[in-house]
Chains A and B, each alone.
Chain A
Amino acid sequence: MALRTIFYEEIVNQVAAMCLEANFELGQDVIQAFQTALKKETSETGKDILKQLLLNADIARSERVPMCQDTGVSVFIVEVGQDCHISGGSLYDAINEGVKKGYEEGYLRHSIVDHPITREKSKGYNTPSIIHIELVPGDELVIHMSAKGGGSENMSAMKMLKPADGVEGIKDYILSIVAQAGPNACPPLVVGVGIGGNFERCAYLAKKSLFRPIGHRSERPEIAELEMELMEKINELGIGPQGMGGNTTALDVKIEIEPCHIAALPVAVNLNCHASRHKEVRI
């Protein structure tokens, strides 16, 4: 079977366009979630904040300026069809070049330090990106991109629970992380949860869950039910928009699960701010 060829330059250009779109155009899923929340929110300050965020999204879209000054770390999950061939250079280089192009040309912020301890700024504008590759059947390249902000990422956490802690332990842990994050993670949040796998896999599952659109439920009925139950409990915490009180603390809760060791129950909570910037392109 012949391999399908995908050219380096096309990836660069598609990625650059995604970076701009993610930062300028608030997703329709988020806009709808804000509108739904506005009807339910009882806090006057909370309602006002939601309205200002909708107005902010309008300004960003019409003026082609970033909705938030934290234009984030570009995180990619790339589904590489095993029957496709990338011509002209490495996939990693193509993605980083696209990010650099998009961020520089779009007047987005360069927010990457090369060295976490010396804090020396990276030479490549807002790169390197964080790139996860998943090999899949077929000959397509599907690029999922998220512009992930630092404020919400900083309040994310992970814990190796005991199997005996069970579902109650999982719920308590997730609620405690959201409560601890309070205003810092820019609520209303999208709460991404990974359960199972192992130490590094669990964190990845939590991140991956954030790439699903708001309102999209898990295909597993028991997990979909857990997502909805947690959403309700989180909204009872009272944190509200921007932590100033209210009943809109989460716009959604996403859970991804995977098999794990008989001794293990890893749980990771990756918080996302209300902008929940994620885009997808299929090449």
Chain B
Amino acid sequence: MSAIDLLNPISEQELLKLKAGDRVLLSGTIYTARDAAHKRMFEALERGEELPFDVKGQTIYYVGPTPAKPGHVIGSAGPTTSGRMDKYTPSLLDLGLKGMIGKGYRSEEVIESMKKNKAVYFAAIGGSGALIARTIQSVEVVAYEDLGPEAIYKLTIKDFPAVVIVDSEGNDWYKIGKLQFKQGQGAD
């Protein structure tokens, strides 16, 4: 199965072509944020303040890396569970966020907002943080440095492997993929 090369930020034309189940190799610039950074961004928006970076057109990677060993760009850096960010995500999508990378289910509310705002959700392989670290070429702190691994970082990536889970039409690969292999009448 071949993978689609995709440059971040992703152009609208490329984004609309992506289909749930597509394998991609992501390159370019992305931003990191997980629980604590999302909470801070959400609270900033509630207070009417600006976000520490313009999310319009950008991709956020849900990750809290381990500290970099001397001589390394970054430590282990695999995806964390995206569902914990669901509460904060529709506000970011409304501001123009176009891509999210993580692992695990998204809420119906997030998927609806993705359809409305034409955004895409990718999953990286959970537990492959050492492998993913090799695709990260540079790391620059953007905001909330006091949060350590939970701060917002700007990453330059090259050929970061991921799969399109929810495309801009709301198709969900977790549902489609599972149905292809389900046997018998087990639990859903």
Contacts and interface: CB of A to CB of B under 8 A. Distances in A.
A65 B75 contact: yes
B65 interface: yes
A70 interface: yes
A52 interface: yes
B148 interface: yes
Given A55-B131, A238-B182, A245-B180, A184 B187 contact: no
Scoring B1, B23, B181 by chain A CB atoms within 10 A of each residue's CB, the highest score goes to B181
Contact of B68 (A56, A107, A119): A107
Interface string B1-20: 10000000000000000000
Given A43-B181, A119-B36, A274-B127, A59 B83 contact: no
A273 B178 contact: no
Contact of A53 (B68, B128, B181): B128
Interface string A104-129: 00011111000000010100000000
A257 to B, nearest CB: 22
Contact of A151 (B80, B149, B183): B80
B173 interface: yes
A240 B76 contact: no
A67 B80 contact: no
Contacts of A56: 125, 127-131
Contacts of A233: 184, 186
Contacts of B23: 45, 48
B103 interface: yes
A29 to B, nearest CB: 16
A276 to B, nearest CB: 10
B130 A45 contact: no
Q: Give the secondary structure class of B's interface.
A: loop
A242 B177 CA distance: 11
A83 B182 CA distance: 53
A48 B188 CA distance: 25
Contacts of B188: 179
Interface residues of B, number: 51
Given A236-B182, A240-B177, A70 B80 contact: yes
B76 A67 contact: yes
B161 interface: yes
Contacts of A244: 123, 163, 165, 173-174, 177
B81 interface: yes
Contacts of B47: none
B130 A60 contact: yes
B88 interface: no
Given A109-B66, A233-B186, A238-B183, 5 more contacts: A70-B64, A154-B81, A184-B103, A244-B174, A247-B183
**The 7 residue pairs across chains A and B that have the minimum distance between CB atoms:** A245-B177, A238-B182, A238-B181, A184-B104, A186-B126, A236-B183, A56-B131
Interface of B: 1, 21, 23, 36, 63-69, 72, 75-78, 80-81, 83, 103-105, 123, 125-131, 133-134, 148-149, 161, 163, 165, 173-174, 176-184, 186-188
